Amino acid sequence: MGLTTEMAAFVTFAVGIAMVRGYIVLSVSVTIVMILILSTKPKLHDCVKTIEPSELYYGIIFLIISAVMLPCYLIVVMTNALVKEGIFTFFIGTRKAWNLLTMCGIIVAGGVLGILFF
At 14, is the pLDDT very low, low, confident or very high (cuts 50, 70, 90)?
very high
Decide if pLDDT at 109 tops 80: no
> pTM of the prediction?
0.44
Per-residue confidence (pLDDT) for residue 117, from 0 to 100: 74
Decide if pLDDT at 90 tops 70: no
User: 3-state DSSP helix/strand/coil percent for the chain, to nearest 5?
Assistant: 90, 0, 10
112: amino acid identity, one letter: V
Per-residue pLDDT of 48-66, as tens digits, reads 888 888 888 888 888 777 7
How far is the CA of 50 from the CAs of 4, 45, 54, 61, 107, in angstroms? Answer: 20, 9, 12, 19, 36
Decide if pLDDT at 70 tops 60: yes
What angle do helix axes 24-39 and 41-49 make, rounded to 10 degrees? 60
At 92, is the pLDDT very low, low, confident or very high (cuts 50, 70, 90)?
low
